[in-house]
Amino acid sequence: MKSIKIAGLSLIAGVAAMGLNLTGDTLIAGAQAQNAVTLDQVLQAIRRERTEVSAENRQREQEFLSQRNQQQASLNRVRAQVAAAEAESTRLEGVMASNQDAIEELDEELASKQGEFQELFGAARSAAADLKAELDRSIVSTQFPGRGETLRELAQTEKLPSEAQLRDLWEIMVQQIAEQGKTATYSAPVVQANGQADEAQVTRIGPYVVFSEGKYLTYADGNLKFLARQPAGDVTAAASRVANSSGDDFVRGAIDPSLGTLLSLIVESPTLTERIDQGRFIGKVIIGAALFGIALGIYKWVTLTMTAGAVRGQVRRKKPSKSNPLGRVMLAYENTQSSDVETVALKLDDAILKEVPKLESGLNLVKVLAATAPLLGLLGTVIGMINTFQAITLFGTGDPQIMAGGISEALVTTVLGLIAAIPLLLLHAFASGAAKRVSQILEEQAAGIIAEHAESGRA
């Protein structure tokens, strides 16, 4: 109890320091009693905890042993089930082998009894499969749905075909042959733009084309659908004529001998706008230059033609007019009639030189545009080929569609450049010829005026 006494002395000192009027002996006894109770409680708590932990550990151990026994029993039960399943599998394999042997014996017996009929029925099944594949692609099936089911049963049967099945095969084949030479109008479901199938009147020309309301349809996966892009106007007009025909008169129509392949390619072929878009920026520049040059060329050609007419009219009149070049040249002569021949010639040359630039204005621009358009087309060709080689470098040559963009740009720009250059050259030639004719008339009339002035003796 040495530690208890030391603690008591410490407590006495603390109390004395706080000024309490307690005796030292009383404080020592109180401290000893308090510390003795606390240690006993700690000891009892430790003993209780150790007892509880021991009991809990023993319970856990018992539970673990119990579960281990249960798991071992479950494992033994599963192993027994696996062994039973393996035994059953072995038995079933033996049964299957014996059944297979029996099937082979029965097949041999069936083949021996069928004899030559086996080859005949094999040919019938093959013919049914081929005919079904043809019917699945033929638009005639839209008028006679359900024919393929009979052929499918005949093609897939393992038994000898019945007489009814053989007759159905013959009748369907003859029907298909007969319908290929007919034009028929009937009601059939057509898939609309919203994805729903509605009944509509359709007209079929053999197995080649089918159309409704003057628009061509395609047949795929057992459904009739409108072409995403219809053919040219004359082809659709032919479809309308056939659909509206009474059947008594002769009507010219259009068919697809490829049984739908050519019509489906119409959707993939680009329109004029899409072709122009393939030329990209260079193509649009060429088109803009061509339109501007053509408009300017036509304007100059028309104005020069009108000017030439006015000049020829002035030739027949003696009174000059300011509305045409020859009239202005004649007015210049009237202002210098009193001068000598050289002065008159100089004045007339000066008047003609003032008129010529007006006649030839804009023609050089048309000529420059005509020469620039092919160069722009060549530039687009080079850019397109660069893009093509870049695509080949990145993705290889496995997919031709990757190179199609660059090649299309190269070809379209070349075509646009040539298309722009040809009319520009023609317009420049026509307009330039008109300007030269007017200039020639002015020079001829000026020479005549000078000659008359010299003959009149005015010097």
State pLDDT tens for residues 172-191: 888 888 888 888 888 888 88
pLDDT at 288 over 80: yes
Average pLDDT, integer, range 28-39: 53
Q: Where are the beta strands (DSSP E) in 223-304?
A: 223-226
By percentage, how much of the chain surpasses pLDDT 90? 5
Average pLDDT, integer, range 78-100: 90
Dihedrals phi, psi of 186, to nearest 5 degrees: -155, 175
Each residue of 106-122: b (16+ CB within 10 Å) or e?
Answer: eeeeeeeeeeeeeeebe
Q: What is the pLDDT of residue 425?
A: 92
CA distance 379 to 375: 6
Among 15-29, 167-181, 338-352, 364-378, which is the least confidently predicted range?
15-29
Other residues' Cβ atoms within 10 Å of the Cβ of residue 359: 23
3-state SS, residue 340: coil
Give Cβ neighbours of residue 409 (< 8 Å, ≥ 6 apart). 278, 279, 280, 282, 283, 380, 383, 384, 387
Q: Are 275 and 404 in contact (CB under 8 A)?
A: no
- DSSP per-residue string spanning 252-317: -----TTTTHHHHHHHHS--HHHHHHHTHHHHHHHHHHHHHHHHHHHHHHHHHHHHHHHHHHHHH-
Place of tokens 């000891």: 43
CA distance 220 to 137: 7
Q: Give residue 259's region: left, alpha or beta (phi > 0; psi -120 to 50).
A: left
CA distance 341 to 449: 10
Q: How many Cα atoms sit within 13 Å of 315 on the Cβ side?
A: 15
pTM above 0.75, yes or no: no
Q: Are 380 and 279 in contact (CB under 8 A)?
A: yes
Among 375, 384, 386, 378, residue whose Cα is nearest residue 408: 384
CA distance 309 to 314: 9
Which tokens belong to 146?
Answer: 């359900």
Which tokens belong to 86?
Answer: 């393996």
CA distance 359 to 351: 13
- DSSP per-residue string spanning 111-127: HHHHTTHHHHHHHHHHH
Average pLDDT, integer, range 407-434: 88
The average confidence (pLDDT) of the chain is: 78
- CA dist 94 → 83, 98, 105 (Å): 17, 6, 17
